[in-house]
């Protein structure tokens, strides 16, 4: 793999072709990003055509447990050794993963499809997720690089079910990419040093892999080779491998989250007996679709923030928001949504309320008030697989630049919990701090037990 250019004080530069350099000076702020491993590590390598013909049996005999194997440098330089390396690593019992040197100056979707074609659009049980190698700018701006990296990631994840790994380094990610938050992807950090702990790029708070030298020596390979560490023991590494797990198998597998599979990973939070507020920044809110089209603002909305996107008249949705609901107890709740006319322009916002086994569409004029607006009263079941969903395909044309907002939702209990009702008098609205409590406590444990055996939360997909 080509080395990442590392721009630091005194113009220190490290590359894959250069010998390991001594540890450079790092500022106090950079020292704060230094993250040590969790204990034992697992040895691995990454290879390409530059390593020539590899004796994979000898490599395995030298203690190498995994290998990242290059598919291509962008679209124009296909690695002719990929197929033989891919097969050879597996035959030797070495766990493998495919990586692609990403070219921001080329079509991101086409690059993603090229990598996918090399692995037959699947991840085997002993394979690592694919890797996007982000270390070249091709003269592109940080915003362009970020957008194209996300396009690549979204495409690969949509096919494999796993969040791809990002290979990059502290300075390149911070200075050339702009340090976007794509921390859902595991970090493969590049830093050639003899230091015990690397200083990783923001905003990651941990690393999965660390490429610590470009001049390693491994049996079965002529010349230097990149050497890496997995941040964990062999058991944790093996658990990281393979396709996304099956929801409902009682294990929070790789690729599963509290939103996609609360039965295995636990709920994102719970709505208590009296109700609660779920804001757009809470763990139980999911914003979907192209991230560039979901604008986050901090000068309006409930608690001073909201998300907005433009509406379309398309038959299918592109961007959406889903507030996932896990109820501590079944009952009737009044559902309200918060709208702020500083950004809200849609008069045809269609909220879909999934309560119990029923789905109800409610159209709201978001321009009507900067306040709570009622969607009605609904009978909710205990547990999860319930939600409120809002999508951009309201029927209002994209050309009209109509803004649709995603903000807070509020549930307020309107019965007494006995099933007999309380004469129509709703309980006091829950306080702003009562929300969807991620901490869980006794209520969280109760709901988690109730979720065992359930499938993943229903999620709208395009």
Q: Are 287 and 280 in contact (CB under 8 A)?
A: yes
Last residue of a domain, one of 240, 275, 310: 240
Side-chain-side CA neighbours of 332 within 13 Å: the count stands at 15
What are the tens digits of pLDDT across the range 69-92?
Answer: 999 999 999 999 999 999 999 999
CATH number for position 272: 2.60.120.260
> Is 114 part of any domain?
yes
pLDDT of the residue at 423 = 39
What are the tens digits of pLDDT across the range 143-155?
Answer: 999 999 999 999 9
> Cβ neighbours of residue 218 under 8 Å, at least 6 residues apart?
45, 59, 62, 64, 225, 227
Tokens of 64: 């190498």
Tokens of 102: 């990403």
Tokens of 61: 């005999």
Number of domains in the chain: 2
List active site positions: 46, 133, 135
What are the tens digits of pLDDT across the range 10-66?
Answer: 233 333 333 333 333 344 344 447 888 878 899 999 999 999 999 999 999 999 999
Q: Are 116 and 127 in contact (CB under 8 A)?
A: no
What are the tens digits of pLDDT across the range 324-379?
Answer: 999 999 999 999 999 999 999 999 999 999 999 999 999 999 999 999 999 999 99
Q: Is the domain of 189 the same as that of 286?
A: no
Tokens of 300: 């309006």
What are the tens digits of pLDDT across the range 98-129?
Answer: 999 999 999 999 999 999 999 999 999 889 99
pLDDT of the residue at 96 = 98
> Is 353 part of any domain?
yes
> Is 461 part of any domain?
no
> Is 1 part of any domain?
no
What are the backbone dihedrals phi and psi of residue 115, each rounded to the nearest 5 degrees, phi first?
A: -60, -45
Residues β-bridged to residue 41 = none
Query: Regarding beta strands 295-297 and 331-339, do their DSSP bridges make them parallel or antiparallel, or are they unpaired?
Result: unpaired
Q: Is the domain of 270 the same as that of 162?
A: no
Residue 1 has pLDDT above 90, yes or no: no
Q: Is the domain of 294 the same as that of 442?
A: yes
Bigger pLDDT: 81 vs 6: 81
Residue 170 has pLDDT above 60, yes or no: yes
Q: Is the domain of 84 the same as that of 217?
A: yes
> Is 272 part of any domain?
yes
What are the tens digits of pLDDT across the range 295-328?
Answer: 999 999 999 999 999 999 998 888 999 999 999 9
Q: Tell me how crowded residue 408 is: count the other CB atoms within 10 A of its CB.
A: 25
pLDDT of the residue at 279 = 96
Place of tokens 């702990």: 197
Q: pLDDT class for 439, splitting at 50, 70, 90?
A: very low
Q: How far apart are CA 260 and CA 246, in angstroms?
A: 11
Q: Is the domain of 342 the same as that of 400?
A: yes
> Is 251 part of any domain?
no
The percentage of the chain sitting over the pLDDT mark of 90, rounded to a whole number, equals: 70
Q: Is the domain of 233 the same as that of 284?
A: no
Distances, alpha carbon 13 to alpha carbons 7, 33, 72, in Å: 6, 20, 25
pLDDT of the residue at 255 = 62
Beta strand segments in 256-340, E: 275-278, 285-288, 295-297, 306-310, 320-327, 331-339
> Is 257 part of any domain?
no
Q: How far apart are CA 155 and CA 15, in angstroms?
A: 30
Last residue of a domain, one of 207, 240, 273: 240
Distances, alpha carbon 10 to alpha carbons 7, 13, 236, 364, 431, in Å: 9, 9, 39, 59, 54
Q: ∠344-349-353 over CA atoms, to 5°?
A: 125
Q: Are 264 and 252 in contact (CB under 8 A)?
A: yes
CATH number for position 61: 3.20.20.80
Q: Is the domain of 231 the same as that of 326?
A: no
Q: Is the domain of 153 the same as that of 299?
A: no
The three-state secondary structure class of 330 is: coil
pLDDT of the residue at 418 = 62
pLDDT of the residue at 37 = 84
Q: Is the domain of 306 the same as that of 414?
A: yes
Residue 268 has pLDDT above 50, yes or no: yes
Q: Is the domain of 32 the same as that of 94?
A: yes
Side-chain-side CA neighbours of 125 within 13 Å: the count stands at 2
Q: What is the extent of the structural domain holding 73?
A: 9-17+27-240
> Given CA atoms 425, 428, 434, 435 in this order, what sign does their dihedral have?
positive
> Is 460 part of any domain?
no
Q: Is the domain of 217 the same as that of 273?
A: no
Residue 411 has pLDDT above 70, yes or no: yes
Q: Is the domain of 107 the same as that of 56?
A: yes
Alpha helices, DSSP H only, in 124-165?
142-160
């Amino acid at each position: 793999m080509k080395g990442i250019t590392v721009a630091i004080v005194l113009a220190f530069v490290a590359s894959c072709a250069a010998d390991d350099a001594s540890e450079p000076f790092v500022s106090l702020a950079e020292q704060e990003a230094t993250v040590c491993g969790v204990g034992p590590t697992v040895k691995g390598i990454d290879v390409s055509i530059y390593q020539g013909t590899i004796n994979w049996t000898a490599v395995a005999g030298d203690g190498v447990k995994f290998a990242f194997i290059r598919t291509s440098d962008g679209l124009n330089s296909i690695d002719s050794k990929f197929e033989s390396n891919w097969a050879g690593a597996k035959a030797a019992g070495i766990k493998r993963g495919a990586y692609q040197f990403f070219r921001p100056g080329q079509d991101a979707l086409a690059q993603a499809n090229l990598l996918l074609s090399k692995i037959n659009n699947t991840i085997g049980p002993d394979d690592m997720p694919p890797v996007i190698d982000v270390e070249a700018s091709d003269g592109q701006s940080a915003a362009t690089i970020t957008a194209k990296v996300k396009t690549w990631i979204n495409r690969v994840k949509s096919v494999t079910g796993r969040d791809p790994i990002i290979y990059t380094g502290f300075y390149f990610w911070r200075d050339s990419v702009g340090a976007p938050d794509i921390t859902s992807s595991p970090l493969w950090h590049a830093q050639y040093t003899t230091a015990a702990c690397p200083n990783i790029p923001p905003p990651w708070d941990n690393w999965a892999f660390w490429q610590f030298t470009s001049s390693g020596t491994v049996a079965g390979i002529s010349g230097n080779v990149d050497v890496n560490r997995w941040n964990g023991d062999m058991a944790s590494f093996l658990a990281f491998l393979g396709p996304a797990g099956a929801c409902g198998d009682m294990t929070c597998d790789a690729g599963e989250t509290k939103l996609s599979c609360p039965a295995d990973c636990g709920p994102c939070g719970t709505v208590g007996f009296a109700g609660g507020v779920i804001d757009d920044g809470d763990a139980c809110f999911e914003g979907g679709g192209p991230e560039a089209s979901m604008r986050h603002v901090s000068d309006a909305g409930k608690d001073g923030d909201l998300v907005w996107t433009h509406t379309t008249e398309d038959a299918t949705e592109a961007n959406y928001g889903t507030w996932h609901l896990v109820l501590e107890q079944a009952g009737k709740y009044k559902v309200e949504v918060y709208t702020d006319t500083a950004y809200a322009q849609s008069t045809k916002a269609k909220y879909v309320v999934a309560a119990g086994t029923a789905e109800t569409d409610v159209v709201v004029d978001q321009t009507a008030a900067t306040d709570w607006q009622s969607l009605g009263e609904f009978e909710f079941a205990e547990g999860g697989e319930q939600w409120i969903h809002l999508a951009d395909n309201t029927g209002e044309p994209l050309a009209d630049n109509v803004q649709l907002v995603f903000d807070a939702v509020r549930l307020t209990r309107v019965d007494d919990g006995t099933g007999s009702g309380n004469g129509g008098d709703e309980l006091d609205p829950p306080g702003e701090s009562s929300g969807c409590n991620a901490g869980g406590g006794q209520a969280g444990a109760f709901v988690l037990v109730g979720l065992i055996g359930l499938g993943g939360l229903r999620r709208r997909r395009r």
